[in-house]
Amino acid sequence: MTAPAGSPREVQVAVAAQFGLAFSINFMFVFLPFYVQTISPFDEAATLRWTGLIMGGASVVATFVSPMWGYMTGRRSPKFLFERAIFSHGIALALMAFTTDLYLLLGLRLVQGFLGGLSTIGIIIVSATSPREQLSRNMGLYQASMTLGQLAGPPVGALAAAAFGYRAAFLITAALVGAIFAFAHRSLSAIPPQPVERERTAVSLGQVAAFFGVCLAATVQITFLPAILPHLLRGFAVAEGIQPVAAGLIVSAYALASVAGSIGSSRLASRVGATRLMFLCGLAASVLQVLLLASRDVWTFTLLRMAQTAAVSALPTLVMARVAERGHGGTLGAVNASRFAGNALGPILGTFILANGSLPSLYATIAALTLAALLAYRLAVRA
């Protein structure tokens, strides 16, 4: 994915690189829970918990280090930080191909989490190099590049794992990241450190917390599902041999719906009002979350899931566009950390509640989390 020709070169490179990174990570992410099941020596419940930890552990670490990466761009070149993080990601992915121990696999995922400031650095590159009148559009393109990468990666990754095996699929992922590193190194212009722009810091601590909560809840709705798809697909009587492919297609279908929701919300916001639109979409997503219980086959489940993600994807899109217009690197990093927190909490919440409870309790918890975040946002805006 590339930005329009009128966008600065740095924006075009950041958008294309982020698409490639999202593609590569989700290329691996869709078959990772099946790989965990393959190498796990534990029973089903314990394996389910390990799956949540391994899939979500990286994002737990990234939640805390994302603001640090934002502040580091005030001391080091964003290009330097961007490239080094990409290169290190590729090394970690290559090592995963030869890992059959769950503890070591979790350790590599935690290392990846420490490198999770990539998207924050990309946001800062876009923010620093965009003319003010193009900032919202370019930020929307950057967000869309991540979603499109999430759309394209899962089916290809699932097919690669089914055709070549898990080790080869990990190595293919590492090679893709290596290609992205070479592209960024060659194409991204030198960008000086970005000083804190105090005159743009018009976001209060309460508003930052409210923005964080909304993005967190929305990301949980989007990310909780892949870790429990093996369990759900068995419940839908999908043959074991095609479960990874079915999982990849389901993830791609709702990622496509997420792209549509992001684009549609950016156009509707000026007509409906951003705050009102956020509440309408959040309410619809929460209702659809609970309605997933009515699914009796994969097709019904997928259609409901697509409608749900189309609605909830509007929330982080509207929030990040507003923050990018007003906050410096530290603020952007702090709010962007909500994505990592949601990426961590989603699979962990999904697997642990399902292992110890039921699907109705899981779906109700996620819906309640979204509604509570929207209420807190409303109170913060009024204050």
Convert 165-181 into a string of H (helix), E (strand) and C (coil).
CHHHHHHHHHHHHHHHH
Q: What is the average per-residue pLDDT within 219-242? A: 86
Q: By the 8 A CB rule, do 144 and 353 touch?
A: no
* Predicted pLDDT at 102: 92
Most confidently modeled range among 118-132, 233-247, 289-303, 319-333:
289-303
Q: Please give the domain boundaries of the chain with CATH numbers for all domains.
A: 9-190+202-382 (1.20.1250.20)
pLDDT at 369 over 50: yes
Residue 5 has a pLDDT of 43
* Distance from C-alpha of 7 to C-alpha of 218, rounded to nearest angstrom: 29
pLDDT tens string 62-112: 778 877 777 777 777 888 888 888 998 899 999 999 988 999 999 999 988
- Collect all residues with Cβ–Cβ distance below 8 Å to 128 and sequence separation of at least 6: 10, 78, 191, 194
- Of the pLDDT bands very low, low, confident and very high (cuts 50, 70, 90), residue 52 is confident
Residue 182 has pLDDT above 90, yes or no: yes
**Per-residue pLDDT tens digits for 21-37:** 888 888 888 788 889 98
Name the percent of the chain lying above pLDDT 70: 90
- Yes or no: say if 335 and 319 are a contact pair by the CB < 8 Å rule: yes
Q: Is the pLDDT of residue 169 over 80?
A: yes
Please spell the DSSP secondary structure of 222-241, one letter per residue.
HHSSGGGHHHHHHHTT--GG
Which of 236-240, 259-263, 361-365 shows the lowest mean pLDDT across its residues?
259-263
Dump pLDDT digits (tens) for 333-352.
Answer: 777 778 777 877 888 888 88
User: Residue 198's pLDDT is what?
Assistant: 44
Q: Which of 94, 134, 126 is nearest to 111 (CA)?
A: 94
- Position 4 scores a pLDDT of 46
Q: Is 107 exposed, middle or buried (0-12, 13-18, 19+ CB in 10 A)?
A: middle
pLDDT at position 199 over 50: no
- Report whether pLDDT(365) > 90: yes
Can you give the pLDDT at residue 79? 85
Top pLDDT among 250 and 123 is at 250
Q: How does pLDDT run across 243-259, given as a tens digit for each residue?
A: 878 887 888 788 888 87
